[in-house]
Amino acid sequence: MSAGADAEGGVLAVVDHRRGELRDVSFEMVTAGRSLVDAVGGELHLAVVAGDVERFAEMLDVEGVDAVHTVADGEEFNHDVYATTVEALYADLEPEVLVMPGSVNGLDYAPAVANRLDLPLASGAVALSTDGGDVEVTRRIYRSKLEVTVAVEETPFALTVRDGAFPVTDNTGEAEIRPFEVAVDESALGSRVLGFEEVGEAIDVTYADLLIAVGRGIGSEENLELVERLAEVTGGTLVASRPVVDSGWVERSRQVGQSGQYVRPTVYLAVGISGAAQHVGQMENSETVVAIDRDPSAPIFDVADYGVVGDLFEVVPALVEQFEGDETDA
Amino acid sequence: MKILVTVKEVASAADDFEIEGTDIDERYLEYDLNEWDDYAVEAGVRIAEATDDAEVVSATIGPERADETVRMALAKGVDRAVRVWDDDIAAAELDVAAKTRLLAAVAAEEEPDLILTGVQASDDGYGATGVSLADELGFGWAAVVNQLDLDDDLTTASVHRELEGGVEELTEVDLPAVFTIQTGINEPRYASLRGIRQAQSKEIAVRGLADLGLDAGAVDSPVRRTGMTEPETQSDATYFDGDADEQASRVAEVLRDRGVVGE
C-alpha cells in the first residue's frame, strides 16, 4: 500500500516509544523536522512503528505535522523490524531528510538504515541552522566539551536528534493519519527481543523533592558514607553520576547522566560532580541546583543557582551537623 | 573462533585549549584508547580466554601515532592488530560511511565470528560505526550492550541492552554479529608488565586502501565539519563564601527555604 508521494522533498521523522509511551524526543523531533522543512521544502511526515500506533498517531497530530504513517507490527521496538520498515517508507516517500531519534534505540537502527539506503549520517544533532536553505547540523564532540557544525554536502541525508536538545512541539495539528503496511519476514529477523528488566530497586527519582547527587569527587566507595548520612538526615534521595555507578559503588537505578535518568527535583544538590555535559543534560531542568565542588571552573557551576567552591569532605560533614540538630529536636 | 575488536585512538582536549580552524589546536590534544573500546577489548579477551582456539584481532583506523594505543590493547590480551592508514585516508575527513567501508574491508579479510566495538568514540561521538558495519557485512547486531553471553555452539548471543532510565532490554541475536559495548559491562584489566613486554613482539599490520582492495573513492565523505565553538555557558550562580561551616549553613538555609528537608 502506498503512503503517497506528498512528502517527496520533505522530511520523514521516525518517532520513539517504549513500553506503551511515546518518548519526549518524538515531539522534539517534530520541532527539528519543522525547521528542516523550512529549509528543504515539502511536508513533514512522521512514522510510528509498532505498539499502539493509532493512539500514538493521535498524540502525534501536533502543529506542523502533515501526515502520520502508522505501521502496526509488533508491540515493542525491534531493530530489524524498524530497519526494514523505515527502508520501505523511505522508498515510498522519498524524503529529502530522514530524521531518527538519538536514543538508545535510535543507536540500534539509525546507522543500519543510513547504511542500507546509502545516506550520509549526521548523528546527535543538538541544533540546526537552515540559513539560505543549506542545513548545518550542530553536534557535540570531545565528551560534549565542544560543539561543531557539520554540513552534509549531499541530499538526501539522515539525521539523528539528541534527546532533550530541542523544545517539544505540542499544539494540536491537522495531520492525516495513514496506515502503512510492510511485509516483514519474521523468520528472517536476526534478533528477538525477549523482554525487559528493571535494574536494581524500583526507584523513581524523576520528581523527588531533594536529590543528593554524588560524583567522582567522592574518591572512594568508603567515602560514600558521608553523603549517605546527609541523605539520611535530610530525607533526600541519593543518586550518582555515571563514573560512580560504573565503579559499582551505587546501583544503576540511581544513575543520572548518559542514558541514565532525566530528573526534575525541587532541589538538586550536586556533591563532587564536575558536570560533564551528558550529566548536566539530564538534571538541568531541576528547579534549584546547588553545587559543591573544589574546582571553581567545574561546568556544574554553569547550571547551578548556588555554588560552594570548597572541599566536600569539610562542607558535607558541616551540612550533616546542620540537620542532625533537627533529628534530635524532632 | 575469531573475534575482531575495533580500537580507536581518541583525542581529548586539555583543560585549557585553543581552537584552530574547525578543531582544537593539535598542541592541546591528548591521545588515549577510547574508553568504550577498552571495555570492548576486555569483553573480547574474556571470551577468548574462556574459549578453546580463539583469536582476538584488533582493527584501528589511524596514523602511526596510534600504535601506542594499539600496543595497549595488545598488552591487554589482543593477539594481533591491523591498523588501516595511508596518505589518501590521512587526507580525508572520515564520516560514518567511510569508516564503515574501511572496517568492512578488514572484516572481509579476517572473517571474524564476532565483532566488538565501543558504543561510541569519546572524541567525535557519532555512535554509529558498529551498527553501520554490521549492516554492511550482513551480520546481526545489538547496540549499547552491557551484558553479553554466547551460547555453546556459537549460533546465538543473549545480550542486555542498556536503555534509558534504569531499564534493560533482553535480546537474542543470531551470530555472526556486531555488538557495541557499553562502559560498565566489565572491569577492564590493567596491562601487566608481562603483557606490555609481549605486546612489543605482537604484529601490527598496516594496511592501505590498495591493500584492502579499495580505491580513493572509499574515503569520500559528504559530511564535512564547518566550524567549532565552545557551548555557551550561563553561569549566574550565587556563591557562598566563608569557611565550611558558614558555607554549610547557607546551603542548609536554601534546603529549608525550598521545603525539601524532612520526612
User: pLDDT tens digit string along A272-321?
Assistant: 999 887 788 788 878 899 999 999 888 899 899 999 999 999 999 999 99
Give me the residues of A, 33-62, that contact B with CB < 8 A.
none
Beta strands in B45-106 (DSSP E): 55-61, 80-84
Using the Cβ of A67 and the Cβ atoms of chain B, whether some distance falls under 8 Å is answered with: no
CB within 8 Å of chain A, chain B residues 47-76 = none
> What is the ipTM score, two decimals?
0.91
> Does A96 map to a domain?
yes
Residue A7, Cα to own-chain centre: how many angstroms? 26
Instruction: Check residues A213 and A132 and name the one with the higher pLDDT.
Output: A213
Give residue A259's pLDDT band: very low, low, confident or very high (50, 70, 90).
low
Identify all chain A residues contacting B142, using CB atoms and an 8 Å cutoff: 79, 108, 191
Residue with cell 548471543: B157
Is B138 touching A (CB cutoff 8 A)?
no
Q: Which of residues 252-281 of A touch B (CB under 8 A)?
A: 252-253, 255, 259-262, 265-267, 269, 277
User: Smallest Cα–Cα separation from A210: which of A232, A243, A191?
Assistant: A232
pLDDT at B104 exceeding the cut of 60: yes
Provide Rg for chain A, Cα atoms.
Answer: 22
Task: State the pLDDT confidence band at B117, using cuts at 50, 70 and 90.
Answer: very high
Element (H, E) at A124: strand A121-129
Provide mean pLDDT across the span A239-248. Answer: 90
For chain B, give every domain's residue range: 2-219
pTM of the predicted model, to two decimals? 0.86
Lowest mean pLDDT segment, chosen from A29-43, A123-137, B62-76, B123-137: A123-137
Q: Are B181 and B39 in contact (CB under 8 A)?
A: yes
Contact call for residues A163 and A102 (beta carbons, < 8 A): yes
Q: What is the pLDDT of residues B67-80, one digit of tens each?
A: 999 999 999 999 99
Q: Are both A178 and A218 inside the same structural domain? A: no
User: Which CATH fold topology does B2-219 show?
Assistant: Rossmann fold (3.40.50)
A130 & A34 share domain: yes
Closest chain B residue by Cα to residue A155:
B222
Binning pLDDT at 50, 70 and 90, where does residue A164 land?
A: confident
Task: For residues A247 and A292, state if they share a domain.
Answer: yes
In sign, the C-alpha dihedral spanning A194, A200, A201, A207 is negative
Query: Where in the sequence is the domain holding A302, given as residue range(s)?
Result: 210-329
- Cell numbers at B60, concatenated: 584501528
Residues 6 or more apart in contact with residue B154 via CB below 8 angstroms? B1, B113, B175
In-domain check, residue A217? yes
Distance CA B98, CA B121 (A): 15
What single letter denotes the amino acid at residue B13?
A
The CA dihedral of A132, A134, A137, A138, to the nearest 10 degrees, is -30
**pLDDT of B211 over the 80 cut:** yes
For B3-17, B104-118, B124-138, B192-206, which range has the lowest pLDDT when averaged over its residues? B3-17
Local confidence band at A1 (pLDDT 50, 70, 90 cut-offs): very low
Residues A269 and A171 in one domain: no
C-alpha cell at A294: 573544589
Please enumerate, as own/partner, the contacts of B66-70 that have beta carbons within 8 Å and a separation of 24 or more.
B66/B9, B66/B31, B67/B204, B68/B9, B68/B31, B69/B7, B69/B8, B69/B9, B69/B31, B69/B32, B69/B33, B70/B7, B70/B9, B70/B204
A84 lies in some domain = yes
Q: Is the peptide bond before A299 cis (omega within 30 degrees of 0)?
A: no
Q: Report the domain count for chain A.
A: 2
Side chain identity at residue A46, one-letter code? L
More confident residue, A250 or A278: A250
Q: What is the grid cell recorded at B250?
A: 547557607
Q: Are the Cβ atoms of A107 and B24 closer than 8 angstroms?
A: no
Mean pLDDT score, B238-255 = 95
Which chain B residue lies closest to A253 (C-alpha atoms)?
B166
List B residues 198-237 in contact with A (Cβ-Cβ < 8 A): 221-231, 233-235, 237
Residue A281 resides in a domain: yes
Listing DSSP states for A149-167 in one string gives EEEE-SSSEEEEE-TTSSP
Residues whose CB falls within 8 Å of the CB of residue A207, separated by 6 or more in sequence, listed in order: A263, A264, A265
pLDDT-derived band at A330, boundaries 50, 70, 90:
very low
Confidence bin at B193 (pLDDT 50/70/90):
very high
Average pLDDT in the B143-172 region?
93
DSSP B62: -
In-domain check, residue A193:
no
